Amino acid sequence: MFTLGDQPLANAFLTPEQIDEPEPRYPLVVRECADCGIIQLKHVINAASMFSDYAFVTGISQGMTAHFAELMRENIDWHVPPGGLVVEIGSNDGTALASIASHDVRRLGIDPAVNLSDIARSRGVPAVAQFFTETLAEQVVAIHGQASLIVACNVLGHIDDLDDVLRGVRHLLSPKGAFVIEVPCANWLISRTEYDTIYHEHLSYFAVKPLSALVARHGLKITRVESQEVHGGSIRVTVQHGIGHTHAVVPWFQGDSIPRDWVAFRQRCEDTREHLVGWLTRARDDGRTVFGYGASAKATVRLNYCGVSTDLMPSIVDSTPGKQGRFVPGTRQSIHDPSVIDTLRPSDVLILAWNHNLEIRPKLAQYVASGGRVASLTTTGRLNHA
C-alpha cells in the first residue's frame, strides 16, 4: 500500500469565487493485487463529478495529436476494411478521430464530457456524450453495426466497472476486429518514481499481466504489445477475440512478475520532494521568482504532495483556455496564458508537465535567450537545469 495523503481532485481547478471556500480532499491511496499485480485506488470518487465537464483537452499538445494520428492510421491499415466503423472510447475533443477524416471509414467518439463532445462535433466528429457501458455498446451496434477498430487511450485507468466496459467491447468488436488500448505502464510509474500520475481519476494502473487477466474474463486475448514513451512510459496493447495470448506477450509477463518494492518507491518519492522543495526554497531566499509551466493534473498532485505554497511558486502558465484565470486545487497557484512569461519575467520557469518537456522547451527559447532560466522535472523526479 502507498499513500499520498488527503488530496483535492487534481483537475478541479478553482474559480476565483471558489478560492475562499473550503475544498474537499479525499484519501489518495493505492494498493496492489497480490494475484494479478493490478494497482488500484483504495477510495473511488463519483465518476460523474470528475468527468462530465473535463478540463484536459488532447488537442492542446501537438506531440500527442501526432501520436494519436499515427496510432489511428496504423491500426486502420491493419484492421479496418473500407467503410468500416472506428469507435474511440474517451474521445475527448475528437483529436484522434479528426486525424482520420480523409479515410474511408465511419467514425464515432464516445466521451462523457459534454464540453469536449461538443468540441468534437464542431470539428465534424460524430460524438456521443455518455460513459461507455455494455448498454451503450448494444445501442451502438443496433444503429451502426459492429466496429472493426475500438481505441481506448489513457481511459481504462479511469473506469470503475471495467467488466461492464469489457462486456461492451466484446459485443461491439467485429469477429476479426481489434481493440487497441494505450495506458501508462505501472512498472515505469514505480521504477521512474512517477507518483504524480497517481490521482483520483486514475483508479487502476496497469501492466500487461493484469490487462491479460482482465480481457481473458471476456473471451478476449492480447495479440500485440508495444512500449511507447508517452506519459512517462506507456504500453499499447492490441486485444482481439480469442483465448490465451500470443507468444510475443510472454516476456512482458516475466517482467510483470517481479515483485514491486513499495518501500524503496516511497523513499524515492520523499527524496524527490526534498530535492524540489529545497531548490524552490533556495530560489525564494535568493530573491528569485519561479513560475511553473503546465497546470496538468500531475502538477496538482506534485505541488500538493510536496506542499509547494504560493510563496515558493506564485503562478503557473498553461495554454489551455479553460484553465487560465483559475487556481491550482489545494496549493492555489494562479494559472495564466504562457505569454505572461514575457511580460512578468519570472527569473525561473519550472516545467511541471514533464511528459511534454520536448514540446514546451522550444517555446521558452526566447525567454532563455533573454536571460531566463528553465528547469524541468525529469522522469526520475529530479530537476534538470540544462
Give the nearest distance from C-beta 242 to ligand TMP in angstroms: 33
Give the nearest distance from C-beta 240 to ligand TMP in angstroms: 29
* Strands of the 39-41 sheet, one edge to the other: 2-7, 26-32, 39-41, 204-205
Q: What angle do CA 128, 134, 138 make, to 5 degrees?
A: 70
Give the nearest distance from C-beta 112 to ligand TMP in angstroms: 17
User: How buried is residue 289: exposed, middle or buried, by Cβ count under 10 Å (0-12/13-18/19+)?
Assistant: middle
Among 298, 184, 179, residue whose Cα is nearest residue 240: 179
By the rule CB under 6 A, 333 interacts with ligand TMP: no
- Cell 483537452 maps to which residue? 57
DSSP state of 94: S
Query: What part of residues 335-354 is at the interface with ligand TMP (CB under 6 A)?
Result: 353
206/184 Cα distance (integer angstroms) = 7
By the rule CB under 6 A, 295 interacts with ligand TMP: yes
Among 7, 320, 331, 376, binds ligand TMP (CB under 6 A): 320
Report the Cα 16 to chain-centroid distance in Å.
26
Query: What part of residues 52-111 is at the interface with ligand TMP (CB under 6 A)?
Result: 56, 60-61
Closer CB to ligand TMP, residue 269 or residue 295? 295
Query: What part of residues 357-386 is at the interface with ligand TMP (CB under 6 A)?
Result: 359-360, 363
Query: What part of residues 300-319 is at the interface with ligand TMP (CB under 6 A)?
Result: 318-319
Closer CB to ligand TMP, residue 32 or residue 196? 196
Sort strands 334-336 and 147-153 into parallel, antiparallel or unpaired: unpaired
DSSP state of 200: T
Give the nearest distance from C-beta 154 to ligand TMP in angstroms: 9
The C-alpha cell that represents 33 in the structure block: 493485487
Give the nearest distance from C-beta 263 to ligand TMP in angstroms: 28
- By the criterion CB under 6 A, which residues form the site for ligand TMP? 56, 60-61, 294-298, 318-320, 323, 353, 355-356, 359-360, 363
